[in-house]
Amino acid sequence: MTRAWFGKQSHQYITLAMRVLQLASAVLALGFIAGGFDGKDEVIPAPDGDGKKKMLVVTMHFGGPTVNFAMIVTYSAAIYAMLWIAFVYATTRVRVPAHFSVALDSILTVMLLSAGCAVAASDYVRYCSALTPYVHCSSLKAGVAFCFLAFVAFLISVAWGLWILRERLADTKKAQRPQVTSGASTTDQIDVLECSPSSDASNAYHNAAFVC
């Protein structure tokens, strides 16, 4: 007996493969984007309570709203895929409705596309060589590539989920269709084509298979 949230055993393995691809690409995108920036130590003088100046060392990192948005999106995608694998596939007690899964996948698809485009169009990528050694160009570009790979994986998952919903709807309509059965064979069936009220034999149509 297959699980109710897919309907077929093969569907489970295909969906699991897509979730693993989503998890791997999202984790790699998050790691490469986060590792694309090095910290820079800055010494800042700070007044002490006794009137003496105290030197503080502050570690600064390049970044901004674009990078933070990409990291949040890839982190959310990785957590979602990991929870799906851990609780939905590994256990039989958790069932996710197909329309709910398609909705979440659609949201993450749009967000991953936005994050990938935002980072790819940012100054950190366009002027990466001028920001060396605080920005690693290869790491940041790899993060963008894996972000787009995660987007493609979630887009395929959306298309797959819509196909599953379509198949379920077709099966439901087929199951609800009334079944008409007849005990008579085709040779015993009698169809009346024309009945004439006249008693004249010339006005009535007689045939071995059609009787009026």
How far, in Å, CA of 74 to CA of 24, rounded?
11
Please answer whether residues 30 and 73 qualify as being in contact, where contact means their C-beta atoms are separated by less than 8 angstroms. Answer: no
Residue 34 has pLDDT above 80, yes or no: yes
Residue 124, Cβ density class (10 Å: 0-12 exposed, 13-18 middle, ≥19 buried): buried
Percent of the chain residues topping a pLDDT of 70: 66
pLDDT tens for each residue of 91-147: 666 677 778 889 999 999 999 999 999 999 988 888 888 777 778 889 999 999 999
How far, in Å, CA of 60 to CA of 42, rounded?
7
Provide the whole-model pTM: 0.68
Q: Band of the pLDDT at 190, cuts 50, 70, 90? A: very low
pLDDT tens for each residue of 58-70: 666 667 889 999 9
Residue 177 has pLDDT above 60, yes or no: yes
Q: Band of the pLDDT at 51, cuts 50, 70, 90? A: low
Helix 65-83 × helix 98-120 angle, to 10°: 150
